Amino acid sequence: MFANKHAKILIALVCAVLGFMLATQFKTTERQKTINIQRAEDLSDRLKAVEKERNELSKELEKLQAKAGDEVVASEIVRLKAFAGDLEMRGKGIKLVLDDSKIASKPGENPNLYIIHDDDLLRVINELRAAGAEAIAINGERIVAMSEIRCAGPTLSVNNNRSAPPYEIKAIGNPNNLESALKLRGGVLENFKFWGIQADLSQSDDIEIPAFKGRRSFEYAKVVEEQASDAKKGAAEK
């Protein structure tokens, strides 16, 4: 009987321990489930926040790319206009003032040797361009690719606008290089001096060159189709 009672007590203790273990396991499982659910919800919230941030950054990137593209196009337009002479320019350079000779021609000598002609100005322009001039003007007329310099009676015509001496030539570029190009031995200034053509050359840190005021159009020249396609493709890639 004592043994039977002892067995019952032992069984009761085992049942109690098993019950405690089951309860603990149940609580642990429920707590783990709660933690997992909370973690899942937290990860879901984080994922939504990351996706929202990514979308916002993507939109901002698109705006920046569009803005950068616009800035590149605008910068390229300004650069091309500057090269074409459509914009006023300012910088270091030189100023050369030319006037007809005051020396009287000798009997039987051609008096035209002592006055300035279109080829004289063309030689000056060529020397300045060869020396790296970035912008040139004659009496306020911007010299561009289509500019003409020709005699028009006692005057000279530049961009189809007549002017009489003195002729003021301005050029933007390295002042020393421009001056040296004009002062070369046997060069334009030495030739002017021989005939008494008056030439006053000076350097300046602030030369202003006006924009080209005339009209330009292409009536016969056409852009080669392949080059036009390549240019459009290059602009699109930028």
Whichever domain contains 200, its CATH number is 3.30.70.1880
Report the pLDDT value the prediction gives residue 106, as an integer from 0 to 100.
80
Q: Number of structural domains, the chain?
A: 2
Q: Based on the domain organization, do 48 and 143 belong to the same domain? A: no
Q: Based on the domain organization, do 18 and 117 belong to the same domain? A: no
Q: Based on the domain organization, do 80 and 94 belong to the same domain? A: no
The radius of gyration computed from the CA coordinates of the chain, to the nearest angstrom, equals 44
Residue 125: how many CB atoms within 10 A of its CB? Answer: 19
Q: Nearest Cα to 95, choosing from 159, 161, 179?
A: 179
Q: Based on the domain organization, do 68 and 11 belong to the same domain? A: yes
At 182, the pLDDT band (50, 70, 90 cuts) reads very high
Q: Has residue 232 been placed in a domain? A: no
Indicate the range of 57-61, 79-83, 154-158, 229-233 predicted with least confidence: 229-233
Q: Has residue 37 been placed in a domain? A: yes
At 234, the pLDDT band (50, 70, 90 cuts) reads low
Report the pLDDT value the prediction gives residue 2, as an integer from 0 to 100.
46
Q: Based on the domain organization, do 78 and 144 belong to the same domain? A: no
Q: Has residue 221 been placed in a domain? A: no
Q: Based on the domain organization, do 175 and 74 belong to the same domain? A: no
Q: Based on the domain organization, do 61 and 94 belong to the same domain? A: no
Most trustworthy range by pLDDT among 39-53, 69-83, 119-133, 141-155: 119-133
Q: CA-to-CA distance for 166 and 133, rounded, in angstroms?
A: 21
The verdict on pTM exceeding 0.75 is no
Buried b (16+ CB within 10 A) or exposed e, 26-58: eeeeeeeeeeeeeeeeeeeeeeeeeeeeeeeee
Token couple for 100: 């007809």
Could you list the residue range(s) of the whole structural domain that residue 42 is in?
A: 1-84
* Mean local confidence (pLDDT), 136-162: 91
Q: Has residue 235 been placed in a domain? A: no
